[in-house]
Structure formats: structure tokens, C-alpha cells
Structure 1
Amino acid sequence: MKKIILGLSVLCLIAFTSCKENAAKKIDDNNVAAAAVRDASASKFPVLEFDKKEHDFGEIEAKTKVKTTFTYKNSGDAPLVITDIKSTCGCTVPQDWSREPLAPGESGTFSVEFNGSGSNKVSKTINITANTEKGKESVKITAFVKPDPNAKKPSVTPTIKAQ
């Protein structure tokens, strides 16, 4: 029992003597100022604004390739970096966007090519991955795809029922 009390006493003595310094004295004012600047700039995001959020190609023939260009602007407070642009399917191909940072106030473009697949009213979404606050933005293309006049029409053969 004496050994336990002696051991606890030594442990308490070590714990109390090791905490002599005041933690508030260890704070460096230069580090506090640097952290404030870092936190203020961390709340600034680029804002991706488009000249149009949707483009309608109107009526197009099936299998006809059409192309449009979307113009965007960085209206935020930090450089804009677009890391990826993808469509929801392989029939729509986004291309020609800058992978370099876009400074606040500057503009850029990317093009989207649609190969005319599908039929009737077709709508495709293009997703833009960037360093904006949401992280993802999107634009849309639509078209009314008319049937291909040269396509083979399925032949209808009459069926005769045996009696």
C-alpha cells in the first residue's frame, strides 16, 4: 500500500512540475497573422458564370453532327481552375477548354459537339468540375432529332393464322 501511495505521489509531482509554462505565452503573433490571412483567402472562391446555361440546336437530321460554344467568366475573387468537363453520354463531346487558371474577371470558352443520335426531343447535360464553392456546375444542350430519311423502315409482313 505504501508503494502505491508513493508511486501516485511521484506521478502527481511529475505532472504538476511539468506544466510550469503558460500555454498562452507560446502563441506567436506572426503565426496568428498568417493564419488570419490564410483563413480570409480560403473563403474566397471563383464564381463560374455562363453566357447561356442551355443551347437549343432546334430541329436536326439524325446522325448530323452539330457544335456550339459556351462562353464562361470568372466573376469570383480567386483564380478559376476547370479540372474536367464531361457529358452524360458518349454522343456529346466537350472539348477545347483551358486547363490553366483563369484570373478573376477573365473569360474562356469550351465547345460541345453532339452527333445527332437519338430521336425526337433529346436533352444532354454537360458537367463542369471546377474549384468553385459547389465544385460542379452544369450546362445543357437540347435538340429535336428528326428520323433519318435514308434509314431502312422495318417491313411489315402480314401473319396468317391457321384455322
Structure 2
Amino acid sequence: MRAFLFFSFLLFAVTACGYRHGDKLPVDMVKNPKTASGEDEGVKMPVIAFEKQTHDFGRLVMGEKVSYTFRFTNIGEADLIISHVSTNCGCTVPEYTKEPVKPGETGNLSVTFDSKNRKGFQNKTITVITNTQPNSSELNITAMVAIPVQK
């Protein structure tokens, strides 16, 4: 009986991870040009350039939801891949271009800020992880959230 439970648990643990072969990226898409000597070996890399890195929503009333789209261009020489986007608050939800962005092409990163249960000055950070060097960029959104007047 113990062996059956052990193997049942083992089977569950192995299959519960949700690993899919389709999630793999080609090896040539991830490059690290840095060497032990600190020299760049001339590897062609993507470079992400945002039109704007900060957006101010201005004055909001508590409970409003607002969105902004950060546009970026790959000014490098290889495909740009955004692997992860995180925020410092659950009130800010990102959506971004999932496909590789070719050199010279543009992509979008939209963020929606929900001011529910927020008041005063709000400054939220969005961290973008890419296959660039350095591999992370930070964006910021700000707002002044006012409490609605009760009538």
C-alpha cells in the first residue's frame, strides 16, 4: 500500500508541473556577449528602446481603471524577446508582445492600473526582462488618487 501511494504521488508530482515542449526557445535566441575578460565578442544583440519610460496618469478618483501603452523599438541586430514582465503591485496588470520583435520593428507593452482601494500619490514600477544586455528595463507609472466625495 505504501508503495502504491508513493508511486501515485510521484506520478502526480511529475505530471502536475505542466511542462510543455512548446515552451522552449531556440538556443540561438539567447546570447550572452560578456566574457570573463569583460570584452564583447561582437555578438549581434537586440537593443530595446522605449519611446517613454515614465507615464503620469495625473489625477484619478479612487476606483478608476486607466491604461497606457508603452511603445518600444528593437534598435539592435537580433530578434528581441520579452521573456517576463512583472509589477510591484497587483493593482497593475501588464500585457505585452509575446512574439520575437525583429530588428527595426516595434512592439507594445500595455499596463492597466486599478486605483480601487488606493489613495494619494501612487508610483508603480514595471520590470521588463528581455534577451538584451543588460537583460532588464524598468518603466514607471504615477498617479494622484483622490477619495471620492460622499454626497
State whether TM-score is above 0.5: yes
Distance (Å, rounded) in 1 between the aligned partners of 2:97 and 2:112: 17
Secondary structure of 2:141's aligned partner: strand
What secondary structure sits across from 1:101 in the alignment?
coil
User: Which residue in 2 is equivalent to 1:101?
Assistant: 100
Question: Which residue in the other structure is 1:128 paired with?
Answer: 128
Counterpart Cα distance in 1 of 2:150 and 2:64: 13
SS at match of 1:45: coil
**Structure 1 residues not aligned, in runs of 5+:** 1-38, 152-163
Inter-partner Cα distance in structure 2 for 1:42 and 1:101: 21
The 1:84/1:69 distance shift into structure 2, 3 A limit, reads same
1:53-109 CA-to-partner distances (Å, cap 9, x unmatched) read: 0000000001110111110000011110001111111000001x2221111100011
Larger radius of gyration: 1
- 1:114 maps to 2:144: no
Q: 1:44 is matched with which residue?
A: 44
- Structure 2 residues without counterparts, runs of 5 or longer: 1-32, 34-39
Q: SS of the residue aligned with 1:142? A: strand
Tell me, in whole angstroms, the C-alpha distance in 2 between the residues paired with 1:140 and 1:112: 10
Amino acid at match of 2:109: F
Letter in 2 for 1:134: P
Equivalent pairs, count? 112
- The equivalent residue for 2:16 is none
TM-score, normalised to structure 2, is 0.69
1:148 Cα deviation (Å)?
2.6
Matched, 1:137 2:143: no
**Which of the pair is proportionally richer in helix?**
1
The corresponding residue for 2:37 is none
